[in-house]
Structure 1
Amino acid sequence: MTLHLIKLCVGVENIADLQRSIDRRIASGKGGAHDYIHATRMMPKRAEEILDGGSLYWVIKGSIQVRQRILELRSLSGADGLKRCGIVLEPLLHPVRPVPRRVFQGWRYLLADDAPPDLSGDQAEDVPAELMAQLVSLGLA
């Protein structure tokens, strides 16, 4: 059964801002020639389920707004000598139906049944994410 991860996207204002950040990191070659890697402290114990089609869902400004497909989980060593998990992500962002989410530390597992559905191209472009989040919180979307 597919399992996802959810994580706060700190320092990002919106999906377009996240995409610019991804594009800059890939262009700089940081993490490998074509890899986009997000480093985090803990390696998921349920890696097999995550690698069975899982995604990383990003919480931006208080709501889940977008996901990236997880391609690989790598063991990394930081400059401080501590082991970390490198989450290799597809650089393509998939906007999802915004769902409010409270602040938390690190990452959390997200069951496939609890993951918000992707927005179609028209939905993703027609309504700004902040407005969609407000509509969802009011039960209107």
Structure 2
Amino acid sequence: MPLHIRKLCVGAVSVEDLKEWQDERLAQRGSIGHVTRMWPKRQDEVLDGGSLYWIIKGVMRVRQRIVGFEEWPSDDPEEKPKCRLVLEPELVLTEPWPHRPFQGWRYLKPEEAPPDLGERDGNGDMPPALAAELRAIGAW
């Protein structure tokens, strides 16, 4: 069973904003990734189909499949190398789930992850902000 990772998407104000930023990086580097200071200790579980779930403006909104990990040089030669999560370019919209801020990243169990948008009947037409608000108050 895959293990996922959740992370705040700092700087992006929307999924479209994240997509534009990543498209630029894909054109420059040939791959999409996210660099973090801490290496996941449970890499094998994450690589077994896990995704990075992005939290944008306090709402978990989109995910990307994690396809690998690689060393990324630190700016300080005294520091150990950082970890780059290598991501598939495809962004998969999820049901919007509100989320409180935190530092770094956290593991996300499959049963705690939001379903992809449209997996449940009737979700496709609701504006994401409204769906997140209804979920926050327990009405959905």
TM-score, normalised relative to structure 2: 0.88
1:112 paired residue among 105, 110, 113 = 110
Point out where structure 2 has 5 or more consecutive residues left out of the alignment. Answer: none
2:72 to 73, 76, 95: 76
Partner residue in 2 for 1:133: 132
d(CA) in 1 for partners of 2:127, 2:19: 15
1:20-75 Cα distance to aligned partner (Å, 9 max, x none): 11111112x23xx2x10110001100000000000000111112111100010112
- Give the length in aligned residue pairs: 136
Query: Structure 1 residue 63 and structure 2 residue 66: aligned?
Result: no
The answer for the alignment partner of 2:32 in structure 1 is: 36
Structure 1: stretches of 5+ with no match in the other structure: none
Matched with 1:19 is: 19
Q: Is the 8 A contact 1:14 1:129 kept in 2?
A: no
2:48 to 45, 52, 56: 52
Cα deviation for residue 123 of structure 1 reads: 4.1
The answer on whether the counterparts of 1:4 and 1:57 sit within 8 Å (CA) in structure 2 is yes
Question: Secondary structure at 2:6's aligned position in 1?
Answer: strand
Structure 1 CA distance for aligned equivalents of residues 87 and 123 of structure 2: 24
The residue identity in structure 1 corresponding to 2:137 is: L
Percent identity over the alignment? 48
Q: How far 1:87 sits from its partner (Å)? A: 0.3
Q: In 2 relative to 1, CA 25–123 (structure 1 residues): closer, same or farther, beyond 3 Å?
A: farther
TM-score normalized by structure 1?
0.88
Distance across 1 between alignment mates of 2:74 and 2:126: 40
| Distance in 1 separating the partners of 2:127 and 2:12 | 15
RMSD: 1.7
- CA offset at residue 120 of structure 1? 2.3
- Which residue type is aligned with residue 60 of structure 1? I
